[in-house]
């Protein structure tokens, strides 16, 4: 199991950064290897990802979500992983976004990639692309402001 932590500061208000992050179906626009995400209901998503020649599908559950603060999740099947993204107000127009993911690579290629730092590089690149994506938008593409408490 590997833990990957990354952060960036985005030049948008905290509410804008958080709102955009709740639009999971937009993730393919900035996450490398993510082909598609379907939001099944407020706490369940279905992912299609491609890593090199390997395509995988899995489901994930949002375990905790608090507007303008955090979104946490874990995979339900497929590659085992869990994570949290938190949002921190720096000033009225700047937000720090921090991600922490625990990933248990599945299969030979994923394990080799993990050992070589490919997964770490990918997560940090995804966060950098999120920064570019949100800063280039005139506003967030949507929002889900519900609160999810893990039982």
Domain ranges of the chain: 2-32+62-136
**What pLDDT was estimated at residue 117?**
62
Q: Which residues, given as ranges, of the chain have pLDDT below 70?
A: 105, 107-117, 151
| Cα 37 to Cα 49: distance, rounded to the nearest angstrom | 9
**What pLDDT was estimated at residue 42?**
93
Is 37:47 a contact under the CB 8 Å cutoff?
yes
Residue 126's nearest CA partner among 145, 99, 96, 150 is: 99
Residues 5-29: tens digit of each pLDDT: 999 999 999 999 999 999 999 999 9
**What pLDDT was estimated at residue 43?**
95
**What pLDDT was estimated at residue 131?**
97
User: Would you state the structure tokens that stand for residue 136, as one six-digit string?
Assistant: 């280039």
**Fold category of 2-32+62-136 in CATH:** Alpha-D-Glucose-1,6-Bisphosphate; Chain A, domain 4 (3.30.530)
**What pLDDT was estimated at residue 16?**
97
């Amino acid at each position: 199991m590997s833990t990957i932590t990354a952060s960036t500061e985005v030049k948008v208000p905290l509410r804008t950064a958080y709102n955009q992050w709740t639009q999971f179906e937009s993730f393919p626009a900035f996450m490398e290897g993510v082909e598609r995400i379907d939001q099944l209901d407020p706490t369940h998503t279905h992912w299609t990802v491609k890593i090199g020649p390997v395509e995988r599908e899995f489901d994930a559950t949002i375990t905790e979500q608090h507007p303008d603060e955090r979104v946490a999740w874990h995979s339900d099947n497929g590659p085992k992983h869990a994570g949290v993204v938190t949002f921190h107000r720096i000033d009225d127009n700047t937000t720090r976004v921090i991600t922490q993911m625990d990933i248990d690579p599945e299969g030979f290629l994923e394990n080799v990639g993990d050992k070589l730092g490919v997964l770490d590089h990918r997560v940090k690149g995804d966060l950098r692309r999120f920064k570019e994506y949100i800063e280039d938008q005139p506003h967030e593409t949507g929002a889900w402001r519900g609160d999810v408490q893990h039982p």
